[in-house]
């Protein structure tokens, strides 16, 4: 799926400032079976990947890459 603006994305998203500093909750998508095995909600912990010295360094790298698109 391709979108021109973040507001058009129907899925979960986050601002770069939250990377390495937040936990997001996501409801089970409506196309999953209501009585299926998937939980009603799931948590996504926004951690800093290996190779970065801090959350700020990672946030700045992501912000720069997004601005460069």
> Mean pLDDT over residues 54-63, rounded?
93
pLDDT at residue 1 in the model: 61
DSSP 2-22: --SSGGG--S----GGGTTTE
pLDDT one-digit tens code per residue, 4-56: 887 787 777 788 889 998 999 888 888 888 889 999 999 999 999 999 999 99
pTM equals 0.64
């Amino acid at each position: 799926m391709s979108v021109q603006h973040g507001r058009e994305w129907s899925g979960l998203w986050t601002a770069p400032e939250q990377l390495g500093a937040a936990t997001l909750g996501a409801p089970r998508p409506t196309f999953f079976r209501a009585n299926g095995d998937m939980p009603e909600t799931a948590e996504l912990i926004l951690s800093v990947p290996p190779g970065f010295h801090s959350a700020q360094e990672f946030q700045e790298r992501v912000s720069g890459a997004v601005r460069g698109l």
